[in-house]
Structure 1
Amino acid sequence: MSDDTLRSVRIDRTAEGHYTATNVRGGTLTFGAAGGAEFTPVELLLAAIGGCTAVDADIATSRHAEPVEFTVSVQGDKVSDEQGQHMTNLAVTFRVSFPEGEAGDRARTILPRAVKTSHDRLCTVSRTVEIGTPVTSTIEGA
């Protein structure tokens, strides 16, 4: 992998069931096991799926008009079956409105195409989930 394509985070345990992810720019995000207020890894996955397309759609539409409302809801069912634990029925729902007028009309026209293009081509997160990219886990020194 080249430096242009590589993405990474480091995850440090801060206490039992509590972790901090740090990106290469120094940003941090805490998460943990279910039970506390922190996001769980599954909730982070949902946020990443919705957030990826939200960013693409926001960039495409806000060039024309600042949204009055921009909310993305993501949901799915966590199941356990013969394939192990996984998510099914993943759904991303956008609730977006723009001000009246020509700029708002243009943003409203662009929104469906921006969401579709993000889902079909641009959003690395949902594209990776849908393609089914293998994940490799290793233990250093083992």
Structure 2
Amino acid sequence: MTDNSSRSVTVERTSTGRFTATNPRGGTLDFGTGAAGDTTFTPVELLLAALGGCTAVDVDVATSRHAEPSRFTVSVAGTKVDDELGQRLTDLAVTFHVTFPDGEGAERARAILPRAVRTSHDRLCTVSRTVEVGTPVATAVEEG
């Protein structure tokens, strides 16, 4: 049996303030500091995208088997604070905007949408579960 529980990415500096993340399958994503004129995502924006994207994937799988949505948008927001605990985000909110056209399966998709969002948030979405439960992050420096 293969252990499929490990997850990883590699982050490589490409220039001042610019980086590329690479996953084990070879996919890449560029990001940066958000400096003027830089349209790449910042690490905080990537976190927000991961929060929304994780639940979006779960919800899409559950609902689109019944009907194809005519609109499926997830907005994610938070407030950046700097207090005695350091810089962090508070008031994280993930909001779904999903519409299904009339037709076969649409009523079923609409009916299960709230449950699918709740189940993803409460049990399935690794990203939001990790943030809410709280997991220590270890850092290290290796020479070479």
Q: When the two structures are superposed, what TM-score results if normalisation uses the length of structure 2?
A: 0.95
Q: Matches of residues 108-123 of structure 1 in structure 2 within 5 Å?
A: 108-123=110-125
Q: Matches of residues 77-88 of structure 1 in structure 2 within 5 Å?
A: 77-88=79-90
Aligned to 1:57: 59
Is 1:66–2:84 an aligned residue pair?
no
Per the alignment, in what secondary structure is the counterpart of residue 66 of structure 2? coil
Structure 1 runs of 4+ aligned residues shifted over 3 Å read: none
How far is 1:37 from its partner?
A: 0.3
Q: Matches of residues 1-142 of structure 1 in structure 2 within 5 Å?
A: 3-35=3-35, 36-141=38-143
Query: 2:73, 2:40 → 1: CA distance?
Result: 20
In the alignment of these two chains, the number of paired residues is 141
Q: Deviations over 1:54-77 (max 9, x none)?
A: 000000000000000000000000
Root mean square deviation of aligned Cα: 1.2
Percent identical across equivalent pairs?
Answer: 67
How far is 1:102 from its partner?
A: 4.0
| Structure 1: runs of 5 or more not aligned | none
| Structure 2: runs of 5 or more not aligned | none
Query: 2:137, 2:15 → 1: CA distance?
Result: 26
Query: 2:83, 2:135 → 1: CA distance?
Result: 20
Query: Which amino acid is 1:90 matched to?
Result: L
Q: When the two structures are superposed, what TM-score results if normalisation uses the length of structure 1?
A: 0.96
Query: Which amino acid is 1:103 matched to?
Result: G
